[in-house]
A and B are shown apart, each in its own frame.
Chain A
Amino acid sequence: MFSDPVFTGLIIFSIITLYWSILGAYVLSKSGAISGKSAPILVAYSFLAWLTSRIMYMNFPEVPPHPILIISGLVESPQNILTTVYIYYRTKIIKLKWMPYIALYSIFLAANRISLYLCRNLPVPDILLLPRVFSEWASLPAWLYVYVKSNKIFSMKQASIIICYQVLIWFSLVFMLHYLALPYSQISALEVIMNYPITLLTLMFIDKYRLSYLEHTSQ
């Protein structure tokens, strides 16, 4: 059994995954972020998410279009967005009705994955760019629901400016790839830098919103 180095490697990696999952869930429950009862569920989810991605990686049929990217993204991107929103909710930075949020997010995520699957035959340079565009617009309605409608972190005008800037980033990526013929490595490095203003603005607005709310409640 252990004569196969890949199998041995996967056993070692599964033990390490389980270790990080248990440690993370334990400390989250000790910190009061999650209840003790939900900790085992989180461990099971974390381990299964890893296991599924590894099994898919090894066993997916040899087909040049991209279903593996689409399916693996089903787990990863919701996880990032949902956990961020959960932290804001749990630390009382935002208020949220979970059912409409989950419903809205799920509908757009499903639409996103279907459209991404329909574009699976596109040539390689485009497949590098299109998933980003789709992931942006899929999370947008849920983003507006949380940050504009439910919590007034951004006014509609401010939200529009941020969305326009994101669209501008995407256009500039396409421009750099198709018109300037820059190598993808340069484009990807520039993209990291171009995303700084959005990250910075979002964090500053959330901070401003929560501090003004705290000040208001303490008076």
Chain B
Amino acid sequence: MRSMYVEYELLWTVGGMWLINLVAMYWIWEDSQAHKRRAWPWIFILMLGDPFSTYVSNHYRYEYLPSKGIYPYLVPFFRYDSTHFLEPVWILDTFFFWSILFSLIDSTIAFFIIYWIYSDCKKTGERATPWISISRFIQVMPFPINYFFPLSGYTGQIFILAGYILYKLGYFRRRRI
């Protein structure tokens, strides 16, 4: 019965987020083309992945679970059967009300802040790439950076927005002599 839990967990995948990643990449390349500036450092930090989380998740899947009698690579081949679903209320509560709802709100706020910064930079002729890249990076930061800077929700985006507005007002700029 425990193996069925793994199956249902893997069933819950949201689609469509790939378009949001695509938009961010497009903005960075387009902006770097327009300003004739380097893009690789800004793209590279978004492609770092997370070696530590990869290690932990695969350790859990391939080393820990078999010792408990669960073989994750065999799980997708079980035929789906909702009668094996043990605690529906608990699953619904965990997945839908907390994780999904909050991630939807967080990501929407973050996305619109990035979009607004991109549009504003386009109007004013400022470079948008660093803002877009850092905004996306704080959402996908690898361990241990995300441990010391827990800013992946919309809190981080508020810092970015405040930073951008201050920059527009003339703060954080290099003095030109």
Contact = CB atoms under 8 A, between A and B. Distances in A.
B167 interface: no
A180 interface: no
Interface string B26-44: 1101101100101110011
A63 B55 CA distance: 28
Contact of B11 (A24, A58, A68): A58
A93 interface: yes
Interface residues of B, number: 61
Interface string A183-217: 11110111011011001100110110011001100
A31 B77 contact: no
Interface residues of A, number: 73
B96 interface: yes
Contacts of A118: none
Interface string B82-124: 1001001101100110001000100010010001001000000
A166 interface: no
Contacts of A6: 8, 11, 80, 82, 85
Most chain B C-beta atoms within 10 Å of own C-beta, residue among A79, A83, A91: A91
A211 B17 CA distance: 30
Contacts of B39: 203, 207
A27 B80 contact: no
Contacts, number: 184
Contacts of B36: 211, 214-215, 218
B74 interface: yes
B148 interface: no
Interface string B53-84: 01110110011000000000110111110100
Contacts of B43: 203
Contacts of B80: 6, 57-59
A199 B19 CA distance: 21
B22 A124 contact: no
B159 interface: no
Contacts of B20: 20, 23-24
Contacts of A186: 55
Contacts of B115: 27
Contact of A12 (B13, B55, B96): B96
Contact of A184 (B47, B63, B104): B63
Contacts of A124: 73
A91 B58 contact: no
A46 B78 contact: no
27 contacts: A5-B92, A6-B11, A6-B82, A6-B85, A9-B11, A9-B95, A13-B100, A16-B100, A16-B104, A21-B15, A23-B20, A24-B18, A31-B27, A31-B30, A33-B22, A42-B19, A46-B19, A49-B15, A50-B16, A59-B79, A83-B18, A87-B25, A185-B55, A185-B59, A188-B58, A192-B49, A214-B33
Given A192-B50, A200-B44, 15 more contacts: A5-B89, A12-B96, A20-B16, A24-B16, A28-B22, A47-B16, A57-B10, A62-B79, A64-B77, A93-B33, A185-B59, A193-B51, A195-B49, A199-B47, A218-B36
